[in-house]
């Protein structure tokens, strides 16, 4: 039985470029560009799910676990919105960078070098973020099973990842890595991409129900990312724990 979701090769890959997390023109430039639409989608859906009233720190009272948090690109905005944020990453270097940046930013974020199956806590989270992480883990099924154990009933989990299609191979690997050089070559492995149908099937096993599914695509004219009906490359899903 699988008892570990950490892919050492993937951890080493991201650890090598950990110092660049907060450089908007560095190796993580695509994530910096991706962040506004991610934050907007998360905020809107968390407010809607928990019927939060408009206030300065609108997510206050919400416990969020950001899995595969990297240097904290999503943990920090969620914290600024008032949420109690726990960031988790299997790379010590990523966690080190995240802790330093959060301290500089005056944010109280609890960071852990761990993976969901190894995280020992009695806490149950309102929200779990799995953003651009499941295509890098060793076993998606066991990973999502471990996430389920950390979530409270009626909590929500967001998964953003890449669809396993010919188009995603051409755009996310050939285009983004080899032609446009947006990402270091080898960032993604097409074999690890997950189709929405497969993701829905796995999450259902562990008590999750799909609540929303959107495509995310780059608007070349505006040069920004936006939600779309086209899920053939990038997509984001919202699940509720039943």
Taken in order of first residue, the domains within the chain and their CATH numbers are 8-161+194-241 (3.40.50.150)
Residue bearing the bigger pLDDT, 64 or 178 = 64
- Mean pLDDT computed over 165-181: 85
Largest CA distance in the chain: 48
| Residue 133 confidence (pLDDT) above 70 | yes
Q: What is the DSSP string of 210-241?
A: EEEEEEEEEETTTTEEEEES--SSEEEEEEEE
How sure is the predictor about 172, in pLDDT bands with cuts at 50, 70 and 90?
Answer: confident
Average pLDDT along the chain: 94
pLDDT in tens, 70-83: 999 999 999 999 99
pLDDT digits (tens, 9 = 90+) for 8-30: 888 998 898 999 999 999 989 88
Q: Which tens digit of pLDDT belongs to each residue from 39-59?
A: 999 999 999 999 998 888 999
- Taking the C-alpha atoms of residue 242 and residue 236, their distance in angstroms, rounded to an integer, is 19
User: What is the DSSP track for 141-186?
Assistant: HHHHHHHHHTEEEEEEEEEEEE--SHHHIIIIIIIIIIIS-SS-TT
Q: Which residues pair with 128 in a beta bridge?
A: 65, 157
Q: Is the pLDDT of residue 223 over 90?
A: no
Q: What percent of the chain has pLDDT over 70?
A: 99
The pLDDT score that the predictor gives to residue 3 is 66
Stretch 100-115: mean pLDDT, rounded?
97
**Which pair of structure tokens corresponds to residue 47?**
């407010």
């Amino acid at each position: 039985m699988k008892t570990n979701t950490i892919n050492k090769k993937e951890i080493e890959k991201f650890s090598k470029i950990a110092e660049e997390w907060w450089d908007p023109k560095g190796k993580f430039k695509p994530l910096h560009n991706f962040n506004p639409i991610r934050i907007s989608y998360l905020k809107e859906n968390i407010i809607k799910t928990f019927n939060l009233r408009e206030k300065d720190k609108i997510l206050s009272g919400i416990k969020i676990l950001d899995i595969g948090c990297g240097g904290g690109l999503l943990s920090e905005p969620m914290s600024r919105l008032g949420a109690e944020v726990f960031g988790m990453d299997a790379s010590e270097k990523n966690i080190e960078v995240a802790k330093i940046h959060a301290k500089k930013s005056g944010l109280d974020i609890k960071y852990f070098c761990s993976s969901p199956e190894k995280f020992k806590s009695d806490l149950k989270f309102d929200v779990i973020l799995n953003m651009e992480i499941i295509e890098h883990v060793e076993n998606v099924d066991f990973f999502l099973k471990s996430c389920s154990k950390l979530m409270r009933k009626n909590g929500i989990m967001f998964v953003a990842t890449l669809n396993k299609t010919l188009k995603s191979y051409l755009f996310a690997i050939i285009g983004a890595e080899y032609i446009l050089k947006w990402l270091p070559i080898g960032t993604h492995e097409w074999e690890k991409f997950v189709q929405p149908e497969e993701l829905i099937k796995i999450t259902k096993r562990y008590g999750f129900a799909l609540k929303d599914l959107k495509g995310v695509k780059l608007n070349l004219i505006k040069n920004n990312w936006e939600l779309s009906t086209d899920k053939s490359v990038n997509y984001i899903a919202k699940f509720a724990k039943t």
